[in-house]
Amino acid sequence: MSEEKPLFNVYEVFVQKDHGSPHVWVGSVDAGSPDDALLMARENFLRRETAVSIWVVRQQDVHRTDYEDRDFFARESDKQYRMLSGYNKSNAEKWRKYKKSLLDLEKDFVKD
Amino acid sequence: MTEAERHAAFMARIERGEKIEASDWMPAEYRITLVKFMQMHALSEIMGALPEKEWVPRAPTLARKLSLMAKVQDEMGHGQLILRVAEDLAAPLGKTREDLVEELFTGVAKFHNVFHMPAPTWADCGIIGWLVDGAAVVSQAALLDSSYGPYARVLQRVCAEEGFHIQHGESICLALAEGTPAQRQMLQEALNRWWEALLLFFGPAETNSASATILLKYRFRTKTNEDLRQKFFTKYVPRIWSLGLTLPDPDFRWDEAQGRWIYTAPDWSKLKEIARNQGPLSQYRLGLRRMSYEQARWVREALLGKVVA
């Protein structure tokens, strides 16, 4: 084995496709330096796709949750009250009652 | 937890269809078998670029040369991505990336049987892109749902790019099929040459090797060699026929009653020769790989010189 030899560092790679999108993790590369990691990332992940930015982060600098720590992600309660789906169905039912008057109003106010 | 309890918990995760990650506890046989499988896949991507690289200087047009170069580059890139994933899993075994790469030269690691074959004409390049990569996509797409998360994720990118390779190969084959009688003949001869290799590609029908059993048990793969070969026939044989090409197997047919394709078995003993690196071009291609690995040593050393502690 090669214990005494220097080893490449692993860099995690994040690519931002355009200014409107977040950086998204795409994979990792081996490199000696951050500059090399950016080049390797471009060659490995952007041979076709375009992008506006790449981040590389040394794998050892990434702090992470443990996959086995299910408690960290526990959902003790129903989260419907935070979601669209918690409201839109009952709202739609109610709006149906007002449909006719709504249409009449639109007729009066929306002229195009 | 005792070792047995851990193992039972791991199997329960596999059976629930959960994905295993590099940092999770896993049985030694899972880790060892997966490292071997991914190492072979990565090395095969790199070795697979060689038969086509031979054709880059001889491509018939600039457009063909560009497209072939892009494919060769993709294959090397896939080798890099898969090695990266294999490396994380191999680290606890005391193995480095270099070890994984260099085991090819000592014969400890193998490369895929299909890349031991010669590619003497331009039509071979077309057949490799269309049908060898077609076979590769059939077998890799079946692994997209693999129990090992990092490998399944990297395969998404690999499969997407292989889709381009098939189009590139189809484009070459369609041009030859619509070309002069000599071009059509060249295409037919290349198909004849590759047919047996395409059957050998998926391995023997009876997959009862120790590693195949382990890979199935842990749902790293779920399809057998024969399932994949039949799938390949269903997808590609009608297309081959539609171009007016013939298969070099007079007994090849669809059997309605059995619901499967009937084919003349290839000479399976050839797989054993290839596994010993005694295939038609095994030594030649290993020589090329050794040469490029040595010639690029100074580059790796220069890059390593910059390692940030």
- What's the mean pLDDT in B213-239? 93
pLDDT tens-digit map of B240-264? 999 999 999 999 999 999 999 999 9
Write out chain B residues lying below 8 Å of A9, CB-based: 307-308
Domain count of chain A? 2
For residue B308, the distance in angstroms to the closest alpha carbon of chain A comes to: 6
* Residue A3 reports pLDDT greater than 60: no
- For residue A26, tell me if it sits in a domain: yes
Residue ranges of B 90-149 with Cβ closer than 8 A to chain A:
94-99
A10 interfacial to chain B (CB closer than 8 Å) = yes
Residue ranges of B 210-239 with Cβ closer than 8 A to chain A:
none
- What's the mean pLDDT in A58-63? 95
* Residue B171 reports pLDDT greater than 70: yes
For residue B196, the distance in angstroms to the closest alpha carbon of chain A comes to: 33
B303 interfacial to chain A (CB closer than 8 Å) = yes
- What's the mean pLDDT in B197-215? 86
pLDDT of residue A4: 60
pLDDT of residue B177: 97
Domain residue limits at B185: 3-304
Band of residue B308 on the pLDDT scale cut at 50, 70, 90: confident
Residue of B nearest to A12 (CA): B84
pTM: predicted TM-score of the whole model, two decimal places = 0.89
- For residue B150, tell me if it sits in a domain: yes
pLDDT of residue B309: 66
B23 interfacial to chain A (CB closer than 8 Å) = yes
- For residue A73, tell me if it sits in a domain: no
Q: How far apart are CA B53 and CA B119, in angstroms?
A: 10
User: What's CA B208's distance to the chain center, in Å?
Assistant: 20
The complex's ipTM? 0.87
Band of residue A2 on the pLDDT scale cut at 50, 70, 90: very low
pLDDT tens-digit map of B285-307? 999 999 999 999 999 999 988 77
Report the percentage of chain B scoring pLDDT > 70.
99
Contact B290, B105 (CB under 8 A): yes
- For residue A70, tell me if it sits in a domain: no
Write out chain A residues lying below 8 Å of B153, CB-based: 27
Strands (E), chain A: 9-16, 24-31, 53-58
- What's the mean pLDDT in B79-93? 96
Least-confidence region, from A10-24, A30-44, B216-230: B216-230
- For residue B282, tell me if it sits in a domain: yes
Q: Mean pLDDT score of chain B, rounded to an integer? A: 93
Closest CA to A35 of A17, A11, A59: A11
* Residue B216 reports pLDDT greater than 60: yes
Calculate the alpha carbon distances from B277 to A29, B198, B208 in Å: 30, 18, 22
Residues A48 and A21 in one domain: yes
Q: Which residue of A1, A3, A8, A35 is the best one to mutate when testing the B interface, meaning the one whose CB has the most B CBs within 10 A? A: A8
Domain residue limits at A47: 9-61
Q: How far apart are CA B232 and CA B226, in angstroms?
A: 10
Domain count of chain B? 1
- For residue A1, tell me if it sits in a domain: no
